[in-house]
Amino acid sequence: MIPVAYCADYFGRRKTIQIGSLVYIFGGAMQTGAKSLDMMYVGRFFAGFGVGILADLAPLYQAEIAHPSIRGRLTTLQQFMLGIGAFTASWVTYGCAQGLAGTQAEWRVPLGIQIIPALPLITFIGMLPESPRWLAEKGRIEDARASLARLHAHGDINDPFVVHQVDDIQAEIEKSKDIGSASWSELFKVPSNFRRLALGSILQFSVQMTGVSAIQYYSTEIFTTMGFSSTRILLFQSINSIIALIGEACCVIWVDHIGRRRPLIVGNVASGLSFVVGSILMARWPGSVDKTWVFNFFFSACIGPLSWAYPAEIYSTRTRAKATAITSSSSWISNFFIAQVTPYAFRAVGWR
Q: Which amino acid is at 195?
A: R
Predicted TM-score (pTM) of the model is: 0.72
DSSP 67: -
Query: Is 348 or 172 the better-scoring residue by pLDDT?
Result: 172
| pLDDT the model gives residue 181 | 59
The domain tally of the chain equals 2
Whether residue 252 sits in one domain with residue 290: yes
What pLDDT score does 21 carry?
95
Residue 4 reports pLDDT greater than 90: no
Q: What is the mean pLDDT of the chain?
A: 85
CATH number at residue 243: 1.20.1250.20
Q: What is the pLDDT of residue 115?
A: 94
Mean pLDDT of 289-308: 84
* Average pLDDT of span 138-144: 92
Query: What is the C-alpha separation between 324 and 192, in angstroms, rounded?
Result: 15
Q: 83 and 244 in contact (C-beta within 8 Å)?
A: yes
Question: Do 295 and 169 fall within a single domain?
Answer: no
Query: Domain boundary at 180, 200, 216, which?
Result: 180
Please state, in angstroms and rounded to a whole number, the distance separating the CA atoms of residues 233 and 172.
52
Residues 154 and 250 reside in one and the same domain: no
Which of 35, 30, 81 lies closest to 54 in space, CA to CA? 81
Confidence of residue 286 (pLDDT cuts 50, 70, 90): low
Residue 110: per-residue pLDDT: 92
Q: How far apart are CA 105 and CA 99, in angstroms?
A: 10
Longest dimension (CA), the chain: 66
Residue 1 is classified by DSSP as -
Q: Are 238 and 91 in contact (CB under 8 A)?
A: yes
* 222 and 87, same domain (yes or no): yes
Q: Answer whether 187's CB lies under 8 Å from 320's CB.
A: no
More confident residue, 141 or 82: 141
pLDDT on residue 177 = 66
Q: Are residues 210 and 256 in the same domain?
A: yes
Residues 172 and 246 in one domain: no
Considering the domain architecture, whether residues 75 and 210 belong to the same structural domain is answered as yes
Closest CA to 238 of 83, 79, 81, 94: 94
Q: What is the b/e burial string over 291-318, where b = at least 16 CB atoms within 10 angstroms of the residue's CB?
A: bbbbbbbbbbbbbbbbbbbbbbbbbebb
Of 346 and 277, which is predicted with more confidence? 277
| Residues near 94 by beta carbon (within 8 Å), at least 6 away in sequence | 231, 234, 235, 237, 238
Average pLDDT over residues 140-145: 94
> Residue 327 sits in which domain range?
2-128+182-349
**Single-letter residue type at 265:** I
Same domain, 18 and 46: yes
User: Which pLDDT belongs to residue 246?
Assistant: 92
> Is the same domain home to 17 and 157?
no
Claim to verify: residue 173 and residue 300 sit in the same structural domain:
no
d(CA 24, CA 31) in angstroms, rounded, equals 11
Q: Are residues 147 and 228 in the same domain?
A: no
Query: 157 with 263, same domain?
Result: no
**pLDDT-based confidence at 182, cuts 50/70/90?**
low
180: pLDDT strictly greater than 60: no
User: Domain ends where: 113, 145, 180?
Assistant: 180
Mean pLDDT, residues 170-198 taken together: 79
